[in-house]
A and B are shown apart, each in its own frame.
Chain A
Amino acid sequence: MLKKFNDIVENRHQYARDWKARTGGKVLGIFCTYVPEDIIYAADNILPVRILGGLQPQDVAESHIAGIYCPFCRDTLAQGLQGKYDYLDGIMIAKSCLHMAQAFHSWTLHIPVSFSHFMGVPALVGSQHATEYLAEEMTDFKQNLEKWTGKAITDKDLDRGIDIVNTTRRHLRKFYELRKPEPPLLSGAEAVTLVLAAQLADKRELNPMLAKLQKELPGRKDGPKPATRIMVVGSENHDLEVLKLIESRGTNIVIDEQCTGSRYFWNEVIPQKDRIVAIAQRFIDRPRCPLKDVTERKRLEHILDLAKEYNVRGALLVHQKFCAPHQYDIPRINDLLRKNGIPTYVLELDTTIHRGSVATRTEAFLEMLELEVV
């Protein structure tokens, strides 16, 4: 049932090349889920694709990015330096962390593209001025896109762009609802496959596929079996094999709080007269990544709500090695979930992960959960 989505994720470069050949459009590589794809879809014939790492050892990025920066940023840059993204016409980043900023800057220095844009995003999303500021940054981005394509983006185009991306968000949210029952109708790896496909494929083509899958899924016979329900919280992770490995050890990952998961799509753009402000507001209100959860915390409450809503027994707190933003929040998340009777385990991610070690740790974590029950 999910083969087409698997194909998009596993053969993402070929998919993008085929798309270009079919449509004659431009492919825009994006570095963060704070990028307003609604505006990109409003522009003329551009495919936004999230730049992901190859999950293979590499040595080309080390002379560009310090070894103390996360494996994900080095892996993504390596993919660019190795020519895997030679079909990209442009790149764009929404200000997230220093590590991804470094990958973006090094990309602009060494890998030629005809378009690049750095969009500011406030970290202090609780400020009453954050939406206004973000809207100005988005307007700047829109104007830059217009120059690149030679075509103005009208309110009607923005309505179309918002509708396309909101539809995807809605679909993904419904798939995540299907993980509430016991057993869930989708495994964790399958759910993340759908989210990644949404970050890589043309949503105009993807939306009907998602709609079709939604009709078919309730009837599936080959879904996950009952197992210990856990959640995964933390940083980017597109290593589906790790998720499958974790789930093969007697767990079902029933919910996540990651940017390669629920943080990407959780809330929609709510229409307003000023479409750019509406889009900006959506990003201000979305589940926060740790760098946006400064001053008054909202992320912890959201994680706990998800844990309760999805009836999880335990939580894996994952972070890319050297990822400071997530490292800040992990002790707090740990304390909060444990106080609420949800045991946790911290797992550090790298470009390549020792499978045996992950398997052993997952099993030990499950034993811990069983002991908690006793």
Chain B
Amino acid sequence: MTTSAYRTERFKIYDKAKEYRLKHYKDALEANEKGRMVVLGNFHAPKEFMLAMFPDMVFVAGEPWGVFVTREGEDTSLPRRAVEEVEKHGFKQDMCGYMRMSWGSMWLNEAPGGKPFPKPDMVLATNQCDYKGKWNQVLAEELGVPFYCVESGSYLGDGSWKPPEASIKYLVNQYYDLIDWLEKRYHRKFDEQKFIELMVNTWISRCMWTDVIQMQSHVPAPLEFKLLLPFFMIMEYWSYKKEMVGVLTEFRDETKYRIEQGITPMPDEKARVMHEGLPPWYALNMFTYLREHKVAVLAGSNHFMFMPAVLPIPDDGWYDPGAPINWTGAPKTLEEAMRFRAVYQWHTDSWGIDTRRKIYNLKVALKMLKAQGVIIEQDRGCEFFSLGVPEMKRAAAEAGYSTMLYEANRVDQREWSWPHVSDALDAFIESLGLSKVKK
């Protein structure tokens, strides 16, 4: 198909995803007034277990809260005041960015829009990295509420995607302990059937997401990085919700439609690249800059972390992101649902911790997406994402891809320098064989 065979068109489901995000924050900020149960924690906390007991619960994860404060709080200088407040409490600037936004907002008792920080009934976390468990421990202590944490077992350290059985068993055991603790504390029964439903929804959500990411290999791509962002948030946060299964199904269907109809954000893509790491949330204009140069940013390898749970993993553990999706593998029993929860938690928890796996993931993603290069963010506000970054750059370059590394802090604007980043982008664009757009 020639360029003229393609056209741009607004991505209709995008607005629905954005609306849901804003509704979530409205619910979070009004939950205390309305007497709803509020639980704070991190994205991958085992909240589904609580939702099987408290369907009306509002779960507020700290990571998107950090984005919320960064982006929505700009008018009131809240992001800057939040990080400064954390430093006044004796914690350093080089600690996790999202955490500092969360804590700062908590200590200031201020959320974007002027409402107070939501007061939780408890804090629930998964000890995903060096930060998540300790972050939420301090949060619970400061707010004087109970804290419950689970953790994945380890990974093999050889890069493979096959979860060790000891790790899965450890996690499932912890889930049963969590149920026991919740039942005793809140005198409610865990609804097994409800939990299974939530896991079935999660399975379907992951299948839909995987389908979309696989479709990103189409030339030209039906979507771009920025369009994926609200759906990535849905995947991290609400993939268990029936409503979100509907949204993600529409997301998949519309993406398919776009390919069939020749709709793309960039009909005249001149280069295809990936972006590693979550971008600086206050500087998404860098993607506009790339678009001006006809560089299509397709996805990041973090987008692939939801995929292995619904794809076949061969015995040697090295998965193929383009493999056929297991649409029919949704759990049917409590045991299967628990196991599925543990396996996908293990995948998301260990995705970023094994350098070999990150390198492999990046290379298979670059190949599947037919990309020519990768922009890698050295995120000074996230050590989890930063792990392995220099090795990933080296490996991608050795494999013949154009690479670019830039330093930023996804929430703390004090560490952003657009002149530096744009210079690096210009060099990267040239390395792709393109010229800088004259203005």
On A, residues with C-beta under 8 Å from B are 62-66, 68-69, 93, 95, 97-99, 101-102, 104-106, 108-109, 116-124, 127-129, 132-133, 136-137, 140, 290-291, 294-295, 297, 322, 324-325, 327-328, 330-331, 334
A-B pairs with beta carbons under 8 Å apart, 27 shown: A63-B394, A64-B391, A66-B390, A68-B380, A98-B387, A101-B353, A101-B355, A102-B388, A105-B391, A108-B157, A109-B391, A118-B156, A120-B153, A120-B154, A123-B151, A124-B133, A124-B149, A129-B170, A129-B174, A132-B173, A133-B169, A137-B153, A294-B127, A324-B383, A328-B91, A328-B95, A334-B90
Q: State how many angstroms separate the Cβ of B223 from the closest Cβ of chain A.
A: 30
Inter-chain CA distance A304–B92, complex, in Å, is 24
- Pairs of residues from A and B, 7 with the lowest C-beta to C-beta distance, nearest first: A120-B154, A118-B157, A105-B355, A331-B90, A136-B166, A294-B133, A133-B170
Using known A-B contacts A129-B177, A133-B170, A327-B95, determine if residue A101 contacts B147 with beta carbons closer than 8 Å: no
Whether a CB of chain A sits under 8 angstroms from the CB of B200 is no
B386 contacts A by Cβ under 8 Å = yes
How many angstroms from the CA of A122 to the CA of B354 in the assembled complex?
16
Q: From A62, A102, A119, give the contact of B154 (CB < 8 A).
A: A119
Q: Which residues of A contact B394 (CB under 8 A)?
A: 63-64
- Give A123 Cβ to nearest chain B Cβ, in Å: 5
Chain B positions within 8 Å of A129 at CB level: 170, 173-174, 177
Which chain B positions have C-beta within 8 A of A104? Answer: 157
Q: CB-CB < 8 A to B127: which residues of A?
A: 123-124, 294
Chain B residue contacts of A132, Cβ below 8 A: 170, 173
Given A101-B387, A105-B388, A122-B153, 4 additional A-B pairs, CB 8 A: A102-B387, A129-B173, A136-B170, A291-B130
Decide if B348 is an interface residue (CB 8 Å cutoff): no
Picked from A109, A119, A123, A128, the residue with its CB within 8 Å of the CB of B356 is A109
Write out, one digit per residue, whether chain B residues 129-150 have a CB within 8 A of any chain A CB (1) or not (0): 1110110011000000001111
* B64: min CB distance to chain A, Å: 21
Residues of B close to A69: CB separation below 8 A: 383, 386
B151 cross-chain contacts in A, Cβ below 8 A: 122-124
Interface residues as binary, B80-101 with A (CB distance below 8 Å gives 1, 0 otherwise): 0000000001111011100000
A91 to B164 Cα, complex, angstroms? 21
Bound together, the chains give a CA A64 to CA B355 distance in angstroms of: 11
Is B155 at the interface (CB under 8 A from chain A)?
Answer: yes
Q: How far is the CB of B98 from chain A (nearest CB, A)?
A: 13
* Also in contact, A120 and B90, with CB within 8 A (given A105-B354, A105-B355): no
**Contact of B384 with A by CB under 8 A:** yes
Q: In the complex, A58→B134 CA distance in Å?
A: 31
CB < 8 Å: which of B95, B148, B378, B380 contacts A324?
B95
- How many whole Å from B355's CB to the nearest CB in chain A? 4
Q: Complex formed: what's the CA distance from A28 to B110 in Å?
A: 52
Report chain A residues within 8 Å CB of B155: 118, 120
Which residues of chain A are within 8 angstroms of B96 by Cβ–Cβ distance?
Answer: 324
* Cβ contacts under 8 Å, B297 to chain A: none
**B152 vs chain A, min Cβ distance (A):** 9
Q: Look across to chain B and name the residue whose beta carbon is closest to the beta carbon of A116.
A: B157
Residue in A120, A136, A291 with the greatest tally of chain B CB atoms within 10 Å: A120
A69 to B154, CA, bound (A): 21
A53 to B390 alpha-carbon distance, docked (Å): 20
Q: Which residue of B lies closest to A109 (CB)?
A: B391
Would A331 and B147 be within 8 Å (CB), given that A98-B387, A120-B167, A291-B130 are in contact?
no
Q: How large is the interface on B (under 10, 10 to 19, 20 to 34, 35 or more residues)?
A: 35 or more
A93 contacts which chain B residues (CB < 8 A)? Answer: 157
Asked if A295 and B157 sit within 8 Å, CB to CB, the answer is: no
Check B212 for interface membership: any CB of A closer than 8 A. no
Give, as a whole number of angstroms, the nearest-CB distance from B267 to chain A.
37
Which residue of chain B is the closest to A129 with respect to CB atoms?
Answer: B173
Contact in complex: A294, B156 (CB < 8 Å): no
How far apart sit A163 and B391, CA to CA, in the bound complex (Å)? 41
Assess whether B39 is interfacial by the CB under 8 Å rule. Answer: no
User: Which A residues lie within 8 Å of B156 (CB)?
Assistant: 118
Q: Please name all residues of chain A whose beta carbon is closer than 8 Å to the beta carbon of B380 when the two chains form the complex.
A: 68
> Are A327's CB and B91's CB within 8 A?
yes
B299 within 8 Å of A by Cβ?
no
The verdict on B389 contacting chain A, using a C-beta distance below 8 Å, is: yes
Q: Are A322 and B138 in contact (CB under 8 A)?
A: no
Q: Given A120-B154, A127-B177, A129-B174, do A325 and B387 touch, yes or no (CB 8 Å)?
A: no
Q: Which of B291-340 contact A (CB under 8 A)?
A: none
Q: Tell me the B207-246 residues at the A interface (CB within 8 Å).
A: none
User: Who on chain B is nearest to A324 by CB?
Assistant: B130
By a CB distance below 8 angstroms, the chain A residues around B389 are 66
Contacting residues, chain B, for A122 (C-beta < 8 A) = 151, 153, 170
Known: A63-B394, A294-B137. A105 touches B94 (CB 8 A): no
Q: Which residues of B contact A295 (CB under 8 A)?
A: 133, 137, 147-149
Chain B contacts for A120, CB-based, 8 A: 153-155, 164, 166-167
Question: Which chain A residues lie closer than 8 Å to B355 at the CB level?
Answer: 101-102, 105-106, 109
Residue of B nearest to A139 (CB): B166
Chain A residue nearest in CB terms to B132: A294
- Looking at the complex, which one of A68, A121, A328 makes contact with B94 (CB distance below 8 Å)? A68
For A346, give the chain B residue with the smallest CB separation: B90
What residues of A have a CB within 8 angstroms of the CB of B169 in the complex?
133, 136
In chain B, what residue has the closest Cβ to A130?
Answer: B170
Min CB distance, A116 to chain B, in Å? 8
Note all chain B residues with C-beta closer than 8 A to A294.
127, 133-134, 137, 149
State whether A328 and B138 are in contact (beta carbons under 8 Å apart), knowing that A64-B391, A118-B157, A128-B177 are contacts in the complex.
Answer: yes
Residues of B within 8 A of A116 (CB): 157
Q: How far is the CA of A69 from the CA of B129 in the complex (A)?
A: 14
Name which residue of chain A comes closest to B152, CB basis: A120
Chain B: minimal CB distance from A15 (Å): 28
Name the interface residues of B371-410: CB closer than 8 Å to any CB of A: 378, 380, 383-384, 386-391, 394
Residues on B with C-beta less than 8 A from A106 are 355, 391
In the complex, A128 Cα to B176 Cα: how many Å? 11
Are B170's CB and A328's CB within 8 A? no
Residues of B within 8 A of A136 (CB): 166, 169-170
Q: Are A105 and B356 in contact (CB under 8 A)?
A: yes
A118 & B384 in contact (Cβ 8 Å cutoff) = no
Report yes or no: B390 in contact with A64, Cβ–Cβ below 8 A.
yes
With a 10 A CB-CB cut-off, give which of A66, A95, A137 has the most chain B CB atoms.
A66
Look across to chain A and name the residue whose beta carbon is closest to the beta carbon of B138: A328
In this complex, what residue of B is CB-closest to A330? B90
For the complex, what is the distance from the CA of A257 to the CA of B388, rounded to whole Å? 30
- Closest chain B CB from A43 CB (angstroms): 19
Residue of A117, A291, A295 with highest tally of chain B CB at under 10 A: A295
CB distance from A58 to the nearest CB of B (A): 15
Query: What are the residues of chain B within 8 A of A102 when measuring CB–CB?
Result: 355, 387-388
Asked whether A140 and B134 contact (CB < 8 A) given A117-B157, A123-B151, A127-B174, the answer is no
Is the Cβ of A325 less than 8 Å from the Cβ of B130? yes
